Structure formats: structure tokens, C-alpha cells
Amino acid sequence: MLRRPLLAAARSTRCRQLIEHAPFASALIERFVAGQNLAEALPAISALAQDRLVTLDHLGEDVTDAETAEDTVQAYTQLLAELDRTGLAERVEVSVKLSALGQALPQDGERIALANARRICAAAQDAGTTVTLDMEDHTTTDSTLDIHAKLRADYPWVGAVVQSYLRRTEQDCRDLAAAGARVRLCKGAYDEPASVAYRNQQDVDRSYVRCARVLMQGSAYPMIATHDPRLIGITQALAVESGRGLEDFEFQMLYGVRDTEQRRLAAAGNRMRVYVPYGQEWYGYYMRRIAERPANLAFFLRSLVTR
């Protein structure tokens, strides 16, 4: 019931200003965000990389001017140089939102985002790691998959994300599996209309299983991004059924969510990757996490009244 208003708040400038500048903000976000800059986040990243793989997100989205998009490219190239310098690049890749690279700019947004993403891919290649393109709301899906295909011509290791709540996703999985792409499968975190998305949780879960089966049986590298214990069990069975070993797919979870389960899966020999966000533009990301789980909302409200 609260998911829709919370997701609307995630995109409201007024709510953003209220919460982002609140004095308790940094204490509030520390469960889900590793730090407000790279220096703050590095200890957490190094600790996680001991037993898990990591994908790092320099927070930012919905950029409306080319200068801010350029700042994002600079942040990622510096991050990749640092991963190279510290030897972390072997276990740490990066996740990038195309809307932070200028995808929505009114003039030539898609071309600018592609050019910016290419520069990040080149820096990742130099550092010896990979890039995954996060997926945003459904109005960007075609453009994001198109940019992903173009990038793969030069950087075949670039990963795409698909969302099982979208009705189109099973077919996208078939296409990506045929292309042999790295594919992160998640349920989807935005508020989407029934015309394009399943609105019922059971339908989203059933779609998740169909998509996972397509990815496991094809030549994709599946990245199973969910905290859902049932889906984790089903995908493990699908991997066995498809003749995949533990090296042939990976699990992914978010920083701050089900840490014990992450460690358990890693200790059992699974490739387990944690999505770690850092940076100052944490508002949209944080609100989507609150929308996902009522218990997180209670934690958020408690923080408001006890400070």
C-alpha cells in the first residue's frame, strides 16, 4: 500500500530537499550506503572483497545537464583508477546508471550517454574489471538495451539488467541469452503501470522463474539479484538442471541486506556479489530501499522521532 507513495517521494524534489539536508541524514543512510565519498566507502569495500565479489555504484541519476554527466564520468574513471591501484579491481566491478551519464538530456541524450559509457568501459578495461548498466524505469528500457548492445561490440563483458516485473522481460532474456551477455535479473524497483508491468507479487515471481530458466539454459552469464530465499532455492535447482557449475552464474544482493545469507552463500562456494552504493546522491536509492520493505520504513520513522 505504501510502495507507490514512497516511490513517488523518491522522485520528488521537495521531499529530497527535506530529507537530504536533515541533520540525521548520514546516520539514517549508513545501513544501505557505504559512505558519502570513496575514501569513506573503501574500508567497507575492502572488507567485503575478502569473501565476496562487489559491484560499486557511484550514486547519481536523472542528470539534467551535460556538466553533471561529465562529473559522473570523472567520478567513475577516478574510482576505476583507485581499484586498479589498490588491487581491488580483480574482485570489484562497477554499476552505472545511464541517466547519470546524460541519457535523458533533451538534445542528443542517448548519444551522449553512449559516448560517456564508452569512456567508463575503456577505463574499466584498463583496470582489468567490468561494467554493468543498471536498469531504470520502463521508458528507458529500449534505449538502455540498445546502448548495451552497442557497447558490447567493443566490450563484450558489459552487463545488462532486466526486471522480471516487466511483461517484455522474458523475450529480452531470450535475446540476451542468445547473445551470450552477462545479465543481472532483478524483480524491478520502480512504480510501473499495469500496461507494461505485472502488479501482483506472484506474477512478478513467476516471471522471475521463467526468466531465470531462459538465462540458465542459454549461453548468458546469469547474475541472480534477489534476497528472496524461495527464488534463490529455485535458481540453484535451475542451475543444476541446466548443467551449470558454481562458477557459471552468480548471486547478487544489496549492501546492508541479508548479510548473513550473503556470507553463507559465499562460504558454500557460490559466486556472491554485493551491490555497494556510495556518494552524496543517495536519496533516490535510499527511498527505493525503504519502499521495498515496511520494516525499513519503521526504522526510518523511528530515526525521525528519536533524533
For ligand FDA, the binding residues in 168-187 under the rule CB under 6 A are: 184, 186-187
Least CB distance from residue 203 to ligand FDA, whole Å? 13
> Is 142 noted as a catalytic residue in this protein?
no
Q: State the number of CA atoms in the 13 A half-sphere of 157 facing the CB.
A: 12
CA–CA separation, 35 and 179 (whole Å)? 36
The answer to whether residues 125 and 77 touch, using CB atoms and an 8 Å cutoff, is no
- Least spacing, CB of residue 185 vs ligand FDA, in Å: 9
Tell me which of 57, 91, 118, 134 is the catalytic residue.
134
Question: Per rule CB under 6 A, is residue 252 in the interface with ligand FDA?
Answer: yes
29, 284 Cβ separation under 8 angstroms: no
Q: Is 225 in the site for ligand FDA (CB under 6 A)?
A: yes
First to last CA, the chain: 27
158 part of the interface to ligand FDA, by CB under 6 A: no
SS3 category, 133: strand
Nearest distance from residue 118's CB to ligand FDA, in Å? Answer: 20
Interface residue with ligand FDA, options 293, 294, 298, 304 (CB under 6 A): 293
Any contact of residue 99 with ligand FDA (CB under 6 A)? no
Q: If we measure between CA atoms, which residue out of 274, 119, 289, 106 comes closest to residue 189?
A: 289
Give the nearest distance from C-beta 169 to ligand FDA in angstroms.
11
Q: CB of 22: closest distance to ligand FDA in angstroms?
A: 20
Of the residues 161, 177, 212, 287, which one makes contact with ligand FDA according to CB under 6 A: 161
Contact status: 100 vs ligand FDA (CB under 6 A):
no
Rounded Cα gap, residues 220 and 254, in angstroms: 22
Q: DSSP character for 190? A: S
Q: Which stretch binds ligand FDA (CB under 6 A): 71-79, 220-228, 240-248, 297-305?
A: 220-228
**Distance (Å, whole) CA 152 – CA 114:** 11
The sign of the CA dihedral 81, 83, 85, 89 is: negative
Distance, in Å, from the CA atom of 111 to the CA atom of 241, rounded to the nearest integer, reads 41
Active-site hit among 91, 152, 182, 184: 184
| Site for ligand FDA, rule CB under 6 A | 134-135, 161, 163, 184, 186-190, 225-228, 252-254, 257, 275, 289, 292-293, 296
